[in-house]
Structure 1
Amino acid sequence: MNRCTRIAMAALTISAASILVACGGSGGSEGGAGIVGADEGGSASVSPSSGGGLKRPVINLPESFQVSFEGWTNSDPKLQRILDDGKEELRAEYAAIVQGDPASGAVEFYNSGASLKSARKWIRGFVDEDHTLVGRGRVFNPQVHISNEGFGVLFYCVDESHGRTKDRKTGKEAGTPKGTSPRLQYRTRLDKTEQGVWKTTTAETERGACR
């Protein structure tokens, strides 16, 4: 499926290279709390009301477009919370595209600042073209870390090879163009709110960065 690249690199306070070093570059995390379940095909479920009793939005994706999250678990509860909120942030964007709703409250719940602005723009691109998403996506190889400054860093890969855009009027579908890698790496920063939500504040994607 065609995707707009979301870039807010100027807002990141540390370089991508230093994030990779901090994460160990292979799915590990500082302090020895590594990503567990990396070879498992399932995904961790997220309660809409988890995290200090705060009610989180319920995000539903239709049967026509499903996303699987592989290895999305961590033995450290703090890092797991970042993974959970990072996961729902991406699902919220997908749901907003399918629903044709660039003003989605769920997207705003999990994003702020530069990331919210770029997310709205990305979703609006689909809405203006009258496109939706069909097929399935695979999200894998999460790398999560809490910086010395206290913000979260989350890298992950998205495989779009089985996902497509669909014109709502004509029904015409289009996948990733030939010669273009269907895999992207997302690099995000998350800041924790007073309510305990890890909101994505900056994000960039690089196509072809994941194997």
Structure 2
Amino acid sequence: MARRALTTTAAVFATTAALLLTACGGGGDESPDDIKGADAGSRPSASASGPAGTDRPDVSVPKDLKLVFDFDKPSDAKQAAALSDAENYIRALKHGIAAQDPDDPAYRFYSVAQASQYAKSQIEAWVKGGYTVYGTDKYYDDEVAAMSNGKGVVVSFCRNQAKSYSKSIKTGKVHYTEENADSYQKFRLLMVPPSGDSEVWKAATTEVLGKAKECQ
């Protein structure tokens, strides 16, 4: 894992993200990720991480979906918390797909504004297609950078979905695909700090770059 100062690209992203958050808009027209990935009727395999005292929603996923987060924990407590809840946001999105619920409370707990709309649009696409998630979905090479104004943390990481597939809910058929350039994606999330008595960092914006060469 690498942690570094906010780059110009990340700074531009963060500025745009802040404007989106202020306006409570954006993101409704993103193209869904490639549908690749567990049977909604299976038993869950993992739950949310975070402070023990926080009442968090279930983000478990079915046993035939394995989410691998090869992340290193930052030494800074705030950045570590932001990274942990960025992971929970991804888990919540997968939980919503497995539950076939575009209004699933899990992703709504871990996101606001555009990031929440992004998750909803992804779940809706899977539900419309009649698919659920299956296989192994891997996330790695995380980068964590605090915004200079102290109002957020930008979390970036790679994704390899080569072994994550779609599974027909109706027939149970798994749609296997070969690894290719589309298997690799780069995620960038703006995580906003907790408010009030909450200990939860929430994703405010989600940016996903396809065919990410840096992740191969």
Give me the whole-angstrom Cα distance separating, in 2, the residues matched to 1:132 and 1:153: 29
Q: Which amino acid aligns with 2:168?
A: D
Q: Which amino acid aligns with 2:174?
A: E
1:119 aligned partner = 119
Deviation at 1:181, TM superposition (A): 2.7
Is the contact between residue 10 and residue 154 of structure 2 (CA under 8 Å) also seen in structure 1?
Answer: no
Task: Classify the secondary structure of the residue corresponding to 2:182.
Answer: coil
Distance 1:90 1:72, change over 3 A: farther
Q: Which amino acid aligns with 1:58?
A: D
Q: Which amino acid aligns with 1:144?
A: V
Matched length: 172
Distance 1:208 1:192, change over 3 A: same
TM-score by length of 1: 0.74
Q: Which amino acid aligns with 2:59?
A: I
Task: Classify the secondary structure of the residue corresponding to 1:73.
Answer: coil
Deviation at 1:119, TM superposition (A): 1.0
1:88 aligned partner = 88
Percent identity of paired positions between Structure 1 and Structure 2: 26
Q: How does 1:135-174 map to 2 (within 5 A)?
A: 135-150=135-150, 151-174=152-175
**Which 5+ residue runs of structure 2 have no aligned equivalent?**
1-6, 14-46
Deviation at 1:189, TM superposition (A): 0.6
Deviation at 1:141, TM superposition (A): 0.6
Distance 1:15 1:124, change over 3 A: farther
CA RMSD of aligned residues (A): 2.3
- Residues 7-40 of structure 1, C-alpha deviation per residue, up to 9 Å, x if partnerless? xxxxxxx9635479xxxxxxxxxxxxxxxxxxxx
Distance 1:19 1:68, change over 3 A: farther
Distance 1:182 1:16, change over 3 A: same
Is the contact between residue 187 and residue 203 of structure 1 (CA under 8 Å) also seen in structure 2?
Answer: yes
Q: Which amino acid aligns with 1:190?
A: M
Give me the whole-angstrom Cα distance separating, in 2, the residues matched to 1:84 and 1:140: 13
1:16 aligned partner = 9
Which consecutive segments of 4 or more residues in structure 1 shift more than 2 A? 14-20, 45-48, 170-181
- Residues 80-115 of structure 1, C-alpha deviation per residue, up to 9 Å, x if partnerless? 101110000000001110111111111000010011
TM-score by length of 2: 0.73
